[in-house]
């Protein structure tokens, strides 16, 4: 076994993978503790040391993976994801790049690539993007039309909510999330009692239809991305059956070859 294969074998062991996950979790906790001035005064040196050790571990891991997989390292998008996060952490957080110090918490996102179940969830969400884009476009169009109508109808009644199109767009987005829409509707209905028709229709179309379609697309993509245990068992059984059929076919070919020896070239079958 070559040195490259040994490094790859070590990286793929469960112990190393769990150790990397543990380092990611500890580093995320220490970065969160640095937001407390009290903890920084008490154990600031320890927090800084843990942060530096974690960064060294991440850098060594990326270098080892690059050495072990060579060109195939760049074929995996998750490797690019981890590399970008580590490179951002290596940039000195001083001067013009001081804002990058706040981005150190992005290292916690490495849990997504380190934990297979999280990776499957993100992959399912990415697979659902085309369907979600269509639903988001429909939702945006619906909010825009409702905002234009609300500005025309209720702009003079509640100008701070519907006086201008941007105000109406924000207010309708707020209503879509279910935030205090009842009080707003009552305030408008004091001047226009029929306004409940607009609000109920909008909520039914935006929240109960569009958002539920959005959730349905995501759930469907996750179901497609992750096979159920019964499907996995069926696939395994089919693989075993194919192997057995291939073995039987090979035995039949061997028996036929033994029972039907080749005929001499010079002899012809007798004619009746």
Q: Is the pTM of this model over 0.85?
A: no
Q: What is the structure's pLDDT at 259?
A: 67
List, as one string, the DSSP characters of the chain: --HHHHHHHHHTSHHHHHHHHHHHHHHHHHHHHTT-HHHHHHHHHHHHHHHHHHHHHHHHHHHHHHHHHGGGGGG-HHHHHHHHHHHHHHS--SGGGGGGGGGGGGGGGHHHHHSHHHHHHHHHHHHTHHHHHHHHHHHHHHHHHHHHHHHHHHTTTSHHHHSSHHHHHHHHHHHHTTSSHHHHHHHHHTT-TTHHHHHHHHHHHIIIIIIHHHHHHHHHHHHHHS--HHHHHHHHHHHHHHHHHHHHHHHHHHHHHHHSPPPPSS--PPP-
Question: pLDDT tens digits for 125-166?
Answer: 777 777 778 888 888 899 999 999 999 999 888 899 998 999
Q: What is the structure's pLDDT at 272?
A: 44
Domains of the chain: 3-114 (1.20.120.350), 129-225 (1.10.287.70)
Q: What is the structure's pLDDT at 152?
A: 92
Per-residue pLDDT of the chain (272 residues; tens, 9 = 90+): 678 888 888 888 889 888 988 988 898 898 888 888 888 888 888 988 988 898 899 889 889 988 888 888 888 888 888 888 888 777 766 555 556 666 777 778 778 877 877 888 787 777 777 777 888 888 889 999 999 999 999 988 889 999 899 999 999 999 988 888 888 899 899 999 999 999 999 998 888 887 788 788 877 877 776 654 555 566 666 777 777 777 777 777 777 777 655 555 555 555 54
Output the six-digit token pair for 127.
Answer: 């697979």
Q: What is the structure's pLDDT at 108?
A: 80
For Cα atoms 34, 38, 41, give the angle at the middle one, nearest 5 degrees: 80
Question: pLDDT tens digits for 205-225?
Answer: 888 887 788 788 877 877 776
Q: What is the structure's pLDDT at 146?
A: 93
Q: What is the structure's pLDDT at 228?
A: 47
């Amino acid at each position: 076994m070559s040195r490259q294969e040994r490094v790859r074998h070590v990286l793929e062991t469960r112990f190393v993978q769990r150790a990397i996950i543990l380092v990611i979790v500890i580093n995320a906790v220490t970065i969160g503790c640095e937001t407390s001035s009290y903890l920084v005064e008490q154990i600031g040196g320890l927090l800084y040391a843990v942060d530096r050790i974690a960064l060294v571990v991440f850098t060594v891991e990326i270098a080892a993976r690059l050495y072990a997989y060579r060109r195939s390292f760049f074929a995996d998008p998750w490797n690019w994801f981890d590399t970008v996060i580590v490179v951002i952490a290596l940039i000195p957080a001083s001067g013009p790049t001081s804002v990058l110090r706040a981005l150190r918490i992005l290292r916690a996102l490495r849990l997504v690539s380190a934990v297979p179940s999280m990776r499957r969830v993100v992959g399912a969400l990415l697979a659902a993007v085309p369907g979600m884009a269509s639903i988001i476009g429909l939702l945006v169009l619906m909010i825009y039309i409702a905002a234009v109508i609300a500005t025309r109808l209720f702009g003079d009644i509640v100008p701070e909510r519907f006086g201008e199109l941007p105000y109406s767009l924000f207010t309708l987005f707020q209503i879509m999330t279910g935030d205090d829409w009842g009080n707003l509707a009552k305030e408008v209905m004091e001047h226009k009692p029929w306004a409940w028709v607009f609000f109920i229709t909008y909520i039914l179309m935006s929240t109960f239809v569009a958002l539920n379609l959005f959730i349905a697309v995501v759930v469907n993509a996750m179901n497609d991305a992750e096979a159920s245990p019964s499907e996995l068992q069926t696939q395994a059984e089919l693989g075993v059956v194919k192997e057995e059929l291939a073995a039987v076919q090979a035995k039949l070919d061997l028996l036929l070859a033994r029972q039907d020896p080749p005929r001499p070239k010079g002899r012809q079958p007798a004619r009746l």
